[in-house]
Amino acid sequence: MKYLLVKTRLLTVTVVGVGVLVLPAPANAAATADLTESVSTAALAKPGVERSGAAPVVETTRQVSGTWAFGSTTVPLSAAAHGTPQSSLFVAHKVDGRWVTALSGSTDFVDLVGRAPAGLVSDSERKLFTENQVNAQEIPADTGLSLPWPTGVAWYMGGGPHGNSAAVPPFSSIDFNGGDGRVLSAGPGKVYKSCVRNGSGLVKVVHPNGYSTTYYHMTDLTTLADGADVQVGTYLGKTGNGLPCGGSSSGAHVHFSLLHGDSHIGVGGRTIGGWTFTEGDTPYRGQAEHDGRRVRPGGRLVNYGATTPPGPPPVLPTSTVDAGQNAAVNLREGPGSRYRVVGQVTSGTVVRVTCSARGSRVRGIRGSTTLWDKLDSGQWISDGFVVGPPAPACPR
Ligand SMILES: [Zn+2]
């Protein structure tokens, strides 16, 4: 019971923490003009940016003490271009009256995020941005990503690999439509929206494995807040014809783009959802291949899901065994005293708990409990003798 109480309190603290962290930008932020100019300049200086002549959109979503800002900046596309507007996250710091801006995908960004106050960027975002930047140094051709719809379902590849203004490489984007139109995250990470207007917007997911993906033209966007965690398969929006930040579209689809760190990268030679894509000599051509089967634009691709684990396995927090008055605590084959004893641990042993489940009642050091912890070794121990952070429920 005490254990549960602790768990609930932790949960509450976390939720409150998030609420405090995501500060809406004050409408009358004094330095906005300078900040906008600093961010706009950085956005237009980004290599490979498609300049339409339109001023970059600067969306500041968080500010701390008037000297730190976080948000996104997007360079709108011209109406003639079919593509993804170039969008970056930014972090900015005001030093000696001047704003210094760093855009996502650069070491400057990771450095500045590392120095930002806790209220501007959460610990988990800091960790994700660092992992993404470090892993982007060497990314495998198998992206470890799924295609952006349910596994086992076929959608149309309406347009093969193409660039941001179609003919200009890198051919980082593919057009998809089909099924129920529900577009799902290609992998785990955190979601960010920019250019949100008229029910559409540009959705970006930053993945820990060094890739990022963007999703354009969608409607009915996810209501998840910027920086919220997504998993592979998390709903992001519906296929549509939305043009919230320029471009063009004929026929509801999702313009799905692959980024390396935060720079667009050609999909040629890369595997997504079990399909390895080849770029054509001209945009929208090319093909996808799975197990010797080739599909050209206009054909349908079954999503085989993510083919390799995306990124390194999570590092489990450590817990410590406290046997109380006992010499040792039994490890069991399952979550209960009726399961076979498969080992013993003494006080002070460091263990890693993967998940917890209900089992037989045991009198532990904090009273009696029916909670059992599954260790990374596969063995089980009564939670009554484990001191450490709460673990998620085991899948049934
Ligand atoms: Zn497209």
pLDDT tens digits, 340-380: 999 999 999 999 999 999 999 999 999 999 999 999 999 99
Kindly give the distance from the C-alpha atom of residue 236 to the centroid of ligand 1, in angstroms, as a whole number: 17
Both structure tokens of 316? 């489990």
**Preceding amide of 170 cis, omega within 30:** yes
Kindly give the distance from the C-alpha atom of residue 305 to the centroid of ligand 1, in angstroms, as a whole number: 21
Rounded Cα distance between 154 and 151, Å, is 8
pTM for the full predicted model: 0.70
Q: Where in the sequence of the chain do the CATH 2.30.30 domains occur?
A: 318-387
What average pLDDT does the segment 171-181 reach? 96
What average pLDDT does the segment 56-85 reach? 89
Please give the CATH number for the structural domain made up of 154-302.
2.70.70.10
Closest to 280 in 3D by CA, of 266, 265, 292: 266
What average pLDDT does the segment 170-199 reach? 95
pLDDT at 9: 33
Kindly give the distance from the C-alpha atom of residue 160 to the centroid of ligand 1, in angstroms, as a whole number: 8
pLDDT tens digits, 190-228: 999 999 988 899 999 999 999 999 999 999 999 999 999
Kindly give the distance from the C-alpha atom of residue 256 to the centroid of ligand 1, in angstroms, as a whole number: 7
Kindly give the distance from the C-alpha atom of residue 267 to the centroid of ligand 1, in angstroms, as a whole number: 13
Kindly give the distance from the C-alpha atom of residue 268 to the centroid of ligand 1, in angstroms, as a whole number: 15
With beta carbons less than 8 A apart as the criterion, state whether 188 and 206 touch: no
Kindly give the distance from the C-alpha atom of residue 264 to the centroid of ligand 1, in angstroms, as a whole number: 13
What average pLDDT does the segment 311-326 reach? 82
The better pLDDT of the pair 53, 108 is held by 108
What average pLDDT does the segment 8-26 reach? 33
- Please check whether the domain covering 318-387 is classified as CATH 2.30.30: yes
- Name the band, by pLDDT with cuts 50, 70 and 90, for residue 309: low
pLDDT at 157: 97
38, HSE (Cβ side, Cα atoms, 13 Å): 23
pLDDT at 106: 87
Q: For the chain, percent helix, then strand, then coil, each to nearest 5?
A: 15, 40, 45
Residue 16 has pLDDT above 60, yes or no: no
Kindly give the distance from the C-alpha atom of residue 95 to the centroid of ligand 1, in angstroms, as a whole number: 40
Kindly give the distance from the C-alpha atom of residue 87 to the centroid of ligand 1, in angstroms, as a whole number: 16
Rounded Cα distance between 330 and 215, Å, is 51
Rounded Cα distance between 298 and 191, Å, is 29
Q: Where in the sequence of the chain do the CATH 2.70.70.10 domains occur?
A: 154-302
Q: What angle do CA 268, 75, 111 make, to 5 degrees?
A: 80
Look-up of token digits 């929006």: 237
What average pLDDT does the segment 125-146 reach? 90
Residue 2 has pLDDT above 70, yes or no: no
What average pLDDT does the segment 16-44 reach? 56
Both structure tokens of 252? 């509801």
Residue 7 has pLDDT above 70, yes or no: no
Rounded Cα distance between 71 and 90, Å, is 5
pLDDT at 23: 34
